[in-house]
Amino acid sequence: MLEIEGLTKRYGATLALDDCTFSVAPKRLIGLLGPNGAGKTTLMRCLLGLVVPDGGTIRWSGGPLGEDRGRNFGYMPEERGLYPTMRVDEQVRYFAMLSGMAPAAAGRATADVVRRVGAGDLSGRRVEELSHGNQQRIQLAVALVHNPEILVLDEPFAGLDPLGVDQFGALLLDLAADGTTVLFSSHQLDLVQDLCQDIVTINHGRVVLAGELEQLQRATARRRITVVFAAAARRNWTAALDGVTVEKAEDRHVRLSLDAGGDLDRVLHAARTAGPVLRFDYQPPSLEELFREAVGR
Ligand code: ADP
């Protein structure tokens, strides 16, 4: 378990992290969300020990993180930190040795990790010859070569094409299934919704929404409702209903959102008196809706 409590970081007058508290269960994929300037990078840098917080504690497996936290963490920064003209295997081995491995062990770990990220056939290629998606794999190999328990990635999906997103997402899921705790920042909320079990959202340095995504969705009484009528329905059939906002209304297709004060059964009843209902679907809010609500836009 990674436990963050009361984490605070100030840059002059800017409170970049304001009393952040949340915890992350092991072997999970966690999405770190927040608008630009929210404090995500500062939070990741505090975890990695690159920034010293002004207050708060970070604990892993019940104990405080020490000076040797580099062994617990793997980090993939947003800007690529690879040497363009170096060969893939030389590069990964170089970082393995920087992390303290002896040459022979570094060679073995390199071969293993390059295979693990699906780049075995790229070993002899120079980094500058690779596609963006393949460079991301090598960057991931570098972050993983010392076999860390926690992997932190800053915007790993930025700039990847849809196929690259699928492949990289599958890699992260495999890592989590194998026991690594994976925390990554992203602005792609649909992607986070598909991949992550847990999310942490920060806004102006404060944690505004954190926990298991399904639980967060279940915990809100709000629902999105789609009604499809077999023939044109009576107009304005929703007018007398409390807590309902009409998002789209055509003769046969109506989309509504129901807030916490609304009553789903009453909406269904009203729909059935307005016309022949062919379909009546309701869903919890998407991550994007929860996010907009949490950051107040
Ligand atoms: P995010 O990664 O969510 O975009 P950051 O953690 O980079 O947010 O920034 C949080 C706040 O802290 C912003 O207001 C940013 O301007 C400020 N900040 C970040 N790093 C520094 C720094 N080294 N010096 C001064 N202010 C900083």
Distance (Å, whole) CA 178 – CA 68:
23
Question: Are 152 and 111 in the same domain?
Answer: yes
CATH number of the domain where residue 279 is located: 3.30.70
When mean pLDDT is compared across 69-83, 189-203, 241-255, the lowest value belongs to: 69-83
- pLDDT > 90? residue 70: no
Question: Are 96 and 200 in the same domain?
Answer: yes
Q: Is the pTM of this model over 0.95?
A: no
* Coarse DSSP helix, strand, coil percentages of the chain, rounded to the nearest 5 percent: 35, 30, 35
CA of 42 to the centre of ligand 1 (A): 6
CATH number of the domain where residue 113 is located: 3.40.50.300
Q: Which of 11, 46, 78 to mutate to test the pocket of ligand 1 (most atoms within 8 A of CB)?
A: 11
Q: Which of 10, 14, 32 to mutate to test the pocket of ligand 1 (most atoms within 8 A of CB)?
A: 14
pLDDT for the residue numbered 129 = 94
Mean pLDDT of 207-211: 96
Q: Which amino acid is at 52?
A: V
Q: How many domains in the chain?
A: 2
- The mean predicted confidence, pLDDT, of the chain is 93
Pocket flag, ligand 1, residue 37 (CB < 6 Å): yes
Q: What percent of the chain has pLDDT over 70?
A: 99
- pLDDT > 70? residue 3: yes
Which residue in this structure is represented by tokens 């596609």? 131
pLDDT for the residue numbered 297 = 63
